[in-house]
């Protein structure tokens, strides 16, 4: 079946602009994760949803970052007033249940803030 999809694949934003990144998880997957991957680094956890509930947002770098999953399926990561240090690949992953389960990653959205 279809894997995790993300859109857009690439986004160029001017500093100060707001951006919205979309994630479509694998159908039926309860858990959804967002990670941020800087160039040449491993992914770093941002936030986690179980269905529509955001259970952990400890990795969000600032209050400019906001994520939602209102119907327990598609998720959106929003970054307000983007800054150059927000430039990274944003990865979404989903898993059937969560704990100790395989996380399936999407291709990521590469964000470049100029």
Minimum CB distance to other proteins, residue 98 (Å) = 5
Could you give the string, one character per residue 67-106, with x where binding to other proteins holds by CB under 8 A and - elsewhere?
A: ------------------------x-x-x--xxxxxxxxx
Q: CA–CA separation, 47 vs 67, rounded Å?
A: 8
Q: CA–CA separation, 25 vs 33, rounded Å?
A: 10
Minimum CB distance to other proteins, residue 91 (Å) = 6
Q: Taking Cα atoms as reference points, which of 7, 10, 16 lies closest to residue 84? A: 16
Q: Which is nearer to other proteins, 30 or 83 (CB)?
A: 30
């Amino acid at each position: 079946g279809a894997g995790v999809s993300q859109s857009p694949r690439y986004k160029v934003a001017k500093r100060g602009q707001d951006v919205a990144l979309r994630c479509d998880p694998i159908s039926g997957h309860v858990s959804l994760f967002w990670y941020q991957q800087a160039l040449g680094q491993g992914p770093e956890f941002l936030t986690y949803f179980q269905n529509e509930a955001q259970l952990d947002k400890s990795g969000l770098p600032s209050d400019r970052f906001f994520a939602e999953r209102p119907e327990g399926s598609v998720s959106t990561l929003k970054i307000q007033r983007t800054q150059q240090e927000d430039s990274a690949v944003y990865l979404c992953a989903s898993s059937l249940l969560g704990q100790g389960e395989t996380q399936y990653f999407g291709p990521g959205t590469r964000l470049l803030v100029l």
